[in-house]
Structure 1
Amino acid sequence: MVEIVRIPALSDNYIWLVHEPGSGETLVIDPAVADPVLAEADARGWRITQVWNTHWHPDHTGGNGAIKAATSCRITGPAAEAERIPTLDRWVAEGDRVALGAIEAIVMETPAHTAGHISYHLPSEGLIFVGDTLFAMGCGRLFEGEADQMHANLQRFAALPPETFVYCAHEYTLANGRFALSVEPDNRALVERMEQVEVMRAAGEATLPTTIALERATNPFMRAPSAEELAERRRAKDAFRG
């Protein structure tokens, strides 16, 4: 089993540090910055060997260069965004496989937030790193893609085993949940989840990872019956001030 550590960064980013004890390899997912990542790995005696990027945005790649300079790690990211991530050593696309020691991840192309966004599914570990495609009770903004792409992504995620852990890149849960309640105020699972989230955030606790089961039950974007409905909800969320 891999060990996963959450590293808060910037205002609401989470960088994920993933250690595979068998090989001693350590992976960084979407490093916004380098210093806290290097410090956490050093404190644990872990050797960073890889970085995996989900997309090109600077708050997901900003630490690449410094981590690579400090550790000589190998950086993997989306082939479709290679020109925008100059630190990449390996370019991957749909169906490609990447490994951390004995653990294998399958690359899923999940465009919409950015045109070349990818996610990393680790079936043997029952988890997925989704970058800015799926959030707890939310989804990414449609900066470079369309609602039909996002709808397809979320339905693809929804088909994963319900116990799959979902590692998102931002702590947006409270704001997303407030919007979700405006869409489904009578969703009892959502109401109960938000009661828990309010308590957790008031205590300064993180709300991630989430699970596919939780998102199926409470995420208005994953629950949208069509791309058109998802587009309407995304527009409403972009303007929401609740």
Structure 2
Amino acid sequence: MPLFFQENIQPPEIHLEPEESKHLIRVLRKKTGDSVDLTDGNGNLYHCRIQDANPKRTSLLVIDVEKTQEDNFRIHLAIAPTKSPDRMEWMVEKITEIGFHEIYLMKSQNSERTYLKTDRLEKKIISACKQSKQYFKPKVHSDISFSDLIKDPAFSGFQKFIAYVDENHQNHLLDVAKPTRDYLILIGPEGDFDPDEIKLAISNGFEPVSLGKSRLRTETAGLAAVHMLQILNR
């Protein structure tokens, strides 16, 4: 059954927003009395029945609610946005399908793009959550500087990594990451991190890691890092 999304749900009655209503009634041709599954992005799965099949504002009655258990680890990805927004949107869609928790769009010295609108990223995340049956919607944080991020006390207790290109890397991410932890991993721009940034991160408790022998594009590195940490915890 297709999954629908709506925030700020207050049972027992839900009024779907126009875009979701139109898809439900016009595209899927659902009718009054049909069953619908809905999530609010906070781990809740609502089993509903259509009360009023209105393509502009469908009314649903909540029949049952399931609460999804949260992961016992958290993946936070901090990444310098690519010059092409399309590549970031592709990455965000894929890591949502794989599973991550929060993303920070980070400004570093060699950043190709200093600002990225998050509207389309949010839409990609919601679409990917619906497609892959993810009931927790990942969070997006934008316009964060490298220096502020690495000194943020909110990451105290996290395993913190900085991935960059270095043929002398001794530690692969999968060798040093430990399961059931909270992680923050930094991924730099196409020009990589500035050497001073790497030194600053290490002095603030970040561990340098490799993601493999190949030289990866920024969005590929982000995808690879999330996938590795999911494998470690599965």
Do they fold alike, i.e. is TM over 0.5? no
Bigger helix fraction: 1
Q: Which has the higher contact order (CA 8 A, sep 6+)?
A: 2
TM value normalised by structure 2: 0.30
TM value normalised by structure 1: 0.29
Larger radius of gyration: 2
